Structure 1
Amino acid sequence: MRLTNYTDFSLRVLIYLASKRADEISNITEIAEAYNISRNHLTKVIHELGKMGVIITIRGRGGGIRLALPPEEINVGAIVRKTEDDFKLVPCFGDSPNPCVISPVCGLKHALGRALTAYLAVLDEYTIADLVSDPLGYRMLLGIDKN
């Protein structure tokens, strides 16, 4: 299973925000610079995370973004499910006609289905707080405390 850049960036934004103190506000530019990724890519990600209710976007002067929930309440598996648009590991997982001739007897679909279920179950065991168990280390590596 490979996550899309969209999901990767979503998780990185949440990790970045969880690394900051609860009263600190961030902006897209600082996150993009910390990870060396496109500001344009992050704009869409941040908009969607706001729609999901996991971050708050504050407009205007002095605005920015921060977590809407404590990191302990943001489940990694739930974020992956909401940000990934395709869990069809092979064509027979889809709704369209299956071109595979062995589909009627193939056990691969069942095995891959179980693997996907297990993969998501493991992610469900983690929160953003679990991923950021050393916020000071993240702050240092992400350049959050430059001054």
Structure 2
Amino acid sequence: MRLTSFTDYGLRMLMRLASAPDRAFSTAELADEFGLSRNHLTKIMQRLALGGIVTTRRGGGGGAMLARDPQEVTVGAIVRLLEEGQPLVECFAAKGGDCTLTGCCRLKSRLRSAEAAFLADLDRSTLADIALPAAPGVRAMAGTGV
């Protein structure tokens, strides 16, 4: 199973926000820290805001911060939100994709079960469990995955 970079970067941002839940972080600050595109992070932040995970504020003193207590947000909920619209396999797509095995496939139910087990395991961890260390000067390493 592979998560999209959209989800990977979203998790990294949330790990940083969870390290200081009362502080606002600018997208520019997070992009610099993680060595990522500011535009890409802005799109991720918008999805997280629409999902009620973060709140954002423009202008001086603005930025993004967690909308809820990190102990109330499961990693599974974050992955579901950020992976929305990204089916595990083509036949899981809303329109069923172009699979020629439809109707006789024995794999689909097993993949659905595996995906459900994966997300159920992630539901056992919260954002508080994966928060980055709060110590000043701790920097995330870009390109290392979560």
Give TM class, smaller chain: 0.7 to 0.9
Long gaps (5+) in structure 2: 142-146
Long gaps (5+) in structure 1: none
Distance 1:67 1:83 in 2: 16
**Would you say how many aligned residue pairs link Structure 1 and Structure 2?**
140
**Given the alignment of the two structures, is residue 8 of structure 1 paired with residue 32 of structure 2, yes or no?**
no
SS in 1 for 2:7: helix
CA radius of gyration, larger in: 1
Distance 2:14 2:108 in 1: 33
- How many Å apart are 1:84 and its aligned residue? 0.9
Question: TM-score of the superposition, structure 1-length normalised?
Answer: 0.81
Tell me: CA distance 1:137–1:3, structure 2 relative to 1, closer, same or farther (3 Å). farther
Identity %: 42
Larger helix proportion, structure 1 or 2?
A: 1
- How many Å apart are 1:135 and its aligned residue? 2.1
> Match for residue 72 of structure 2?
73
Tell me: CA distance 1:53–1:5, structure 2 relative to 1, closer, same or farther (3 Å). same
> Match for residue 55 of structure 1?
54
- How many Å apart are 1:49 and its aligned residue? 1.3
- Runs of 4 or more off by more than 4 Å in structure 1? none
> Match for residue 42 of structure 2?
43
What RMSD over aligned residues (CA atoms) do the two structures have, in Å?
2.3
- How many Å apart are 1:90 and its aligned residue? 3.1
